[in-house]
Amino acid sequence: MTIPNDIHITPELVADHGLKPDEYQKIIDLIGREPTYTELGIFSAMWNEHCSYKSSKKWLKTLPTSGPRVIQGPGENAGVVDIGDGQAIVFKMESHNHPSFIEPYQGAGTGMGGILRDVFTMGARPVAAMNALRFGAPEHDKTRHLVSGVVAGIGGYGNAFGVPTVGGEVEFDERYNGNILVNAFAAGLADTDKIFYSKAEGVGLPVVYLGAKTGRDGVGGATMASAEFGDDIEEKRPTVQVGDPFTEKRLLEACLELMATGAVIAIQDMGAAGLTCSAVEMGAKGDLGIELDLDKVPVREERMTPYEMMLSESQERMLMVLHPEKEAVARAVFEKWELDFATVGITTDDLRFRVKWQGEEVANLPIKELGDEAPEYDRPWTEPKKPAQLAAGDVPQMDVADALLKLMGSHQVASRRWVYEQYDTLIQGNSLQRPGGDAGVIRVEGHATKGLAFSSDVTPRYCEADPYEGGKQAVAECWRNLTATGAEPLAATDNLNFGNPERPEIMGQLVHAIKGIGEACLALDFPIVSGNVSLYNETNGRGILPTPTIGGVGLLPDWDQMARIGFAGPDQVILLVGAPASRGTHLGQSIYLRDLFGRKDGPPPHIDLAHERRTGDFVRKLIRSGVATACHDLSDGGLGVALAEMAVASGIGATITDLADQDPILQYFGEDQGRYLVTVNLDPQGEALAALWRDAEAAGVFAPWIGTTGGTDLVLGAARPLAVAALRAAHEGWFPSYMDGEAA
Amino acid sequence: MKSAVIVFPGLNRDRDMIAALTKVSGTAPATVWHQDADLPDVDLIVIPGGFSYGDYLRCGAIAARSPIMDKVRERAAKGVKVLGVCNGFQILIEAGLLPGALMRNMSLKFVCREVKLEVVNAATDFTRGYVKGQVIRCPVAHHDGNYFADAETIAHLEGNGQVAFRYAEGTNPNGSINDIAGIFNDSKNVLGLMPHPENLIEAAHGGDDGRALFSGLLGQAA
């Protein structure tokens, strides 16, 4: 396939490029003539939703993005946060939803590749990865195939690259049947004085192409990712890129080696819309023009046209502006790693983006309007409808033990071991907490005591019922998961996955979720430093559940004072920290209702941010002072599931005393927020525990003693005792048997 | 004892291995790039794990044909100790320094988890930090660790004390024949194993069962 450059522009062609008639008119007004075919391709790449954030920008600007530790907020390849001692953590989360649905192995793998590149482009060596995956209903025809392909693809890329996967999420819901979500997170360590940015500086400097050769893969990928899916989805397979983690690993080592030589002025990886996006961003940010000579671009296929070269999304490529006198040093580094190195252009002072090909100028466009001054929309939106409260006394009954056993073996709660054992979770030798706990934790290499915690969270069913509370909850749960290890939450990245923003009710979800996220981030001092927006997640007009995934990073000053979820020993006091007087009250949108009674009604639990803050700060103090022997936050399935997870993680049982005047279903399965289970090895009648309670009271936190660890059964009050071994069997059993084709 | 770690493009546990050797011996090993003309004068050569050349063609096949491997063969023939872990084991097999083959895991999936290993032969320089029959914890992380050899080779390995480690207590993660996790060459100066002892040497790793392999090796004639 060769796409010629002299195609006549028709309204159909404009529409095929995802540009609306008014956007096309804007192009004509801007350049005073019809664009060439290559120019049309460049505009479609730069002005699509994926690259321009045109629907979301207005609202993203409202998010808190600064703080005393923030070195770089959104707008660069990744966010940068100070972790002390001259070191920074560089991180971001990004979606690869559409490609992963079309071709799960390559789509998910290149999603990993893209996010890793975003991190090492900034001079950071990747040290941790996570991925948040959302699939269709377990019983849907395609789900097993997609789970298997996505997990293998992430593993295939990340394992070969050599970064430990420390956490993530896997969820199933029919609303993702035709549009799965693959959100990949990566974090890297760098020295604060050696961060690299994409802003080009200096006129007449060489623009250098590095890495793999350019092929025809992924041509038009970003435009595809900004459209809804129809029934012609299979035809879009050629827009998916093919990953080569071996080249990426060499590119990492070569880039870090090159950066150490002092040759790099600016660097940008070629991700979505490849050469176009990277060149325009470097120029536009630096208020410089860029001139590219496509005859110099290393290609792996013959007779590629400028259109194809400019829109190729071939992976493992970088663009840099280098100090001219260090070009030879730079070339030697890349030759050592057997990677392509070619000077393909030059920076100019005229703010034009010029592309030459075989002696002809195939594009000449204003660079600022293409890049940082791309169109922005204030799309109409409607207020989401608030779901009705559950009727008073509407508490469907089930035997507590039966309910817990069913939930532990449900697709929502069951162990994700089948998934994470396909990821290398311990490479680099720094993994302190591997997947399966509240957050993944690594130690900071080269530092005696410092650790970093990572968690990725969102509860899409809450967001669907109430995007504002759901947005708050995603942030709060992430902050809570980091806190539950003893870490101080530092900052977060957001990956906003929504449907078609041209529909006012979807836009309303986005607007309200961002409002909730912003308020929570502000209240919890947890700024958003990077992110990605993925819209048009719809198939044949039906949107996904609104899914604003939050990936957070926390700092542990001393990983010796770190909590894990497993009970630490028998005869320890179990405290329910942050509980309301009745322990649990809220069943709306709970998995108890959804997965045991098929009900999706009621509002999601309310998030009281002041309560979150004081409870979390109190829990962190208990962990850091060494008093807490184990800690686990309460989320899906409430108190019952959290206790069972702590028991399963340790093999130690517990006996819980019922609260006399509260329905056990609400106590054990209510999903009230801002609660943690903390165990302490203190005499229940002793002074130390009394002092702890006095501190709690002073902090405004209720921390009742609800039971004691020990034995081999989990006993929830009057309910039938459940053997920890039986809970474990249920918990471990679902995923492997589902993938073997048994359960659904 | 002086050691060297060979690095091929695509290896990714080189840093883990260098850290382990450094922490156990107190001295950093020499790092040898695959294009280097020669090996330094060392007592131990280590080929760490990863995905040399992306595991393209066949795990370890391309690295095994690198000129530096001729030097490794020469040194091994002179009795210098050679250790290959994971992809390093695959490279040693492809280079003809160890017999047999490492096939795709029986599950056909990459597997990263902790297993139990039985120390089958503790009477070698590599394993003298352990006791024969001792069962240790050790992580694995591989896609192609399913050891196979013909019956005659297996009989020879078993009869000549060349099985170093066996997966124990039903934890064989890959379907390898006779639960073999690691083997020696005939003269026991070359060891290849799939598990990663370098990832279990200190409290931060949650245990140090892998440490004795390095301390046993490096402690002698240090």
Residues with Cβ within 8 Å of residue A404, at least 6 apart in sequence: A640, A641, A644, A668, A714, A716, A719, A722, A727
Residue bearing tokens 């942050």 = A578
Average pLDDT, chain A: 94
Indicate whether A326 pLDDT > 60: yes
Nearest-by-CA chain A residue for B198? A429
Confidence label for A230 from pLDDT (cuts 50, 70 and 90)? low
Task: Note the pLDDT of residue B221.
Answer: 38
Name the residue facing B112 among A249, A421, A443 (closest C-beta).
A421
A184/A182 Cα distance (integer angstroms): 6
Contact B51 A159 (CB under 8 A): yes
Per DSSP, what are the bridge partners of residue A631?
Answer: A678
Q: Confidence class of residue A551 from pLDDT cuts 50, 70 and 90?
A: very high
Give yes or no for A450 touching B (CB within 8 A). Answer: no
- CB contact, 8 Å: A664 with chain B? no
Residue A245 touches partner B, C-beta closer than 8 Å:
yes
- Residue of chain A whose Cα is closest to the Cα of B15: A428
pLDDT 10s digits, A293-302: 999 999 998 8
Decide if A676 contacts A687 (C-beta within 8 A).
Answer: no
Shortest Cα–Cα distance, A148 to chain B (Å): 10
- For residue A16, give every residue at least 6 positions away whose Cβ sits within 8 Å of its Cβ, in sequence order, or none: none
Mean pLDDT for the stretch of residues A288-314: 92
Is the minimum CB–CB distance between A242 and chain B shorter than 8 Å?
A: no
Q: Band of the pLDDT at A163, cuts 50, 70, 90?
A: very high
Confidence check: pLDDT of A237 > 70: no
Model confidence at A221: pLDDT above 80: no
Nearest by CB to residue B54, choosing from A160, A427, A428, is: A160
- What's the pLDDT at A376? 87
Q: What is the pLDDT of residue A638?
A: 98
- Stretch A324-347: mean pLDDT: 94
The stretch A144-149 carries a mean pLDDT of: 98
In the stretch 543-572 of chain A, residues with CB closer than 8 A to chain B read 559
Q: What is the pLDDT of residue A541?
A: 84
Q: Which of A162, A337, A423 lies nearest to residue B12, judging by beta carbons?
A: A162
| pLDDT at residue A714 is higher than 90 | yes
Computed from CA positions of residues A599, A602, A604, A608, in that sequence, does the dihedral angle turn out positive or negative? negative
Distance (Å) from the C-alpha of residue A709 to the closest C-alpha of chain B?
23
The structure tokens listed for B42 are 């060392």
Burial class (CB in 10 A: 0-12, 13-18, 19+), A4: exposed
**Looking at residue A583, what DSSP letter applies?**
S
C-alpha to C-alpha distance for A728 and A195, rounded to whole angstroms: 45
Instruction: Give the pLDDT confidence score for residue A568 in this predicted structure.
Output: 98
Axis-axis angle for helices A245-260, A104-120 (nearest 10): 0
DSSP codes, A20-52? -HHHHHHHHHHHSSPPPHHHHHHHHHHHSHHHH
Answer for the pair B52, B83: CB distance below 8 angstroms, yes or no. no
DSSP-assigned letter for residue A168? E
Whether A249 has a pLDDT exceeding 70, the answer reads yes
Which one-letter amino acid corresponds to residue A368?
Answer: K
Tell me whether strands B135-142 and A360-366 are parallel, antiparallel or unpaired: unpaired
Q: What is the pLDDT of residue B96?
A: 97
* Count of beta carbons in the 10 Å neighbourhood of residue A736: 14
Q: Measured at the alpha carbon of residue A78, what is the angle toward residues A72 and A82, in degrees to the nearest 5?
A: 45
* Nearest alpha-carbon partner for A158 in A117, A109, A96, A124: A109
C-beta atoms of B16 and A250 within 8 A? no
Confidence of residue A443 (pLDDT cuts 50, 70, 90): very high
Nearest residue, CB atoms, A245 vs list B54, B199, B205:
B54
**What contacts B95, CB < 8 A, 6 or more positions away?**
B60, B64, B69, B72, B73
Structural domains of chain B, ranges and CATH numbers in brackets: 3-217 (3.40.50.880)
Tell me how close the Cα of A243 comes to any Cα of chain B, in angstroms: 11
Q: Give residue-wise pLDDT tens across range A627-638.
A: 999 999 999 999
**Structure token pair of residue A159:** 């394992």
Cα gap B151→B31, rounded to integer Å: 38
**Closest Cβ–Cβ partner in A423, A430, A432 for B112:** A423
Cβ-Cβ contacts under 8 Å between A and B: the total is 78
* Contact at CB, A250 and B19, closer than 8 angstroms: no
Query: pLDDT per residue over A14-67, tens digit each?
Result: 888 888 898 899 999 989 999 999 999 999 888 888 777 888 999 999 999 999
Structure tokens at A385: 């409808």
Given this model, what pLDDT does residue B1 score?
A: 81
The whole-angstrom separation of Cα A556 and Cα A450 is: 6
C-beta atoms of B110 and A424 within 8 A:
yes
Q: How far B208 CA lies from chain A's nearest CA (Å)?
A: 12
pLDDT in the model for residue A233: 55
Of A89, A48, A18, nearest to A447 by C-alpha is A89
- 8 Å CB contact of B12 and A244: no
CA distance A433 to A415: 16
When pLDDT is averaged across residues A664-680 and rounded to a whole number, the result is: 98
**Residue whose tokens read 């819980």:** A656
Instruction: Identify the three-state secondary structure at position A90.
Output: strand
Burial (CB < 10 A; 0-12, 13-18, 19+), residue A397, is exposed
Q: DSSP characters for A266-296?
A: EEEE--TTHHHHHHHHHHHHTT-EEEEEGGG
For tokens 């004639």, the residue is: B221
- Taking residues A139-168, what's their average pLDDT? 97
Which 8-state DSSP code applies to residue B220?
T
> Residue B179 corresponds to which amino acid?
D
Gap from A546 CA to chain B (nearest CA, Å):
32
In terms of Cβ atoms closer than 10 Å to its own Cβ (0-12, 13-18, 19+), residue B131 is exposed
pLDDT of the residue at A375? 81
CA torsion angle for A279, A281, A282, A288 (degrees, to 10)?
90
Report the distance separating Cα A689 and Cα A710, nearest Å. Answer: 19
CA distance linking residue A709 with residue A687, whole number of Å: 20
Nearest-CB residue to A421 (from B20, B111, B196): B111
CA distance B201 to chain A (A): 9
Q: Are the C-beta atoms of residues A164 and A250 closer than 8 Å to each other? A: no
Whether the predicted pLDDT of A374 surpasses 70? yes
CB contacts of B112 in chain A (<8 Å) are 159, 420-426
Could you give the residue numbers annotated as active site of A?
50, 96
Element (DSSP H or E) covering residue B151: helix B151-159
pLDDT of residue A273: 79
pLDDT digits (tens, 9 = 90+) for B26-40: 999 999 999 998 899
Residue of A nearest to B35 (CA): A336
| CB A554, CB A642: distance < 8 Å | no
**Per the structure block, which two tokens stand in for B72?**
């490794």
**Which residue has tokens 């650790």?**
A451
First to last CA, chain B: 4
Look at A422 and B110 and tell me if their CB atoms are within 8 Å: yes
First to last CA, chain A: 42
Nearest CA in chain B to A162: B12
Query: Longest C-alpha distance within chain B, in Å?
Result: 45
Q: Which residue of B has its CA nearest to A442?
A: B204
What confidence score (pLDDT) does residue A225 get?
Answer: 59
Spatial separation of the C-alpha atoms in residues A469 and A402, rounded to whole Å: 30
DSSP-derived 3-state class of residue A308: helix
> pLDDT by residue (tens digit) across B159-198?
999 999 999 999 999 999 999 999 999 999 999 999 999 9
| Token pair in block for residue A457 | 């969270």
What pLDDT score does A350 carry? Answer: 94
Give 3-state DSSP helix, strand, coil % of chain A, rounded to 5.
35, 25, 40
A430 touching B (Cβ < 8 Å) = yes
- In one-letter notation, the amino acid at residue A492 is A
Q: Which of B187, B221, B174 is nearest to B78 (CA)?
A: B187
A579 CB contacts (<8 Å, ≥6 apart)?
A672, A675, A702, A703, A704
> Quick check: A424 and B141 CB within 8 A?
yes
User: Where does the pLDDT of residue A216 fall: very low under 50, low under 70, confident under 90, or very high at 90 and above?
Assistant: confident
Q: Is the dihedral of CA A655, A660, A663, A669 positive or negative?
A: negative
Positions of chain B with pLDDT under 70: 220-222
Give CA–CA dist A41/A442, Å, rounded: 43
Q: Report the catalytic residues of B.
A: 86, 196, 198
* Assembly ipTM: 0.96
Length of chain A: 744
Contact residues, chain A, for B110 at CB < 8 Å: 152, 155-156, 159, 422-424
Does the structure show a pLDDT above 80 at A228? no
Measuring CA to CA, which residue among A124, A113, A110 is closest to residue A79?
A: A124
CA torsion, points A560, A565, A569, A574, in degrees to nearest 10?
Answer: 110
B137 DSSP β-pair partners: B116
Residues whose CB is less than 8 angstroms from the CB of residue A15 and which lie 6 or more positions away in sequence, other chains included: none
Look at residue A265 in the predicted model and tell me its pLDDT: 95
- Within chain A, what is the greatest distance between any pair of CA atoms? 87
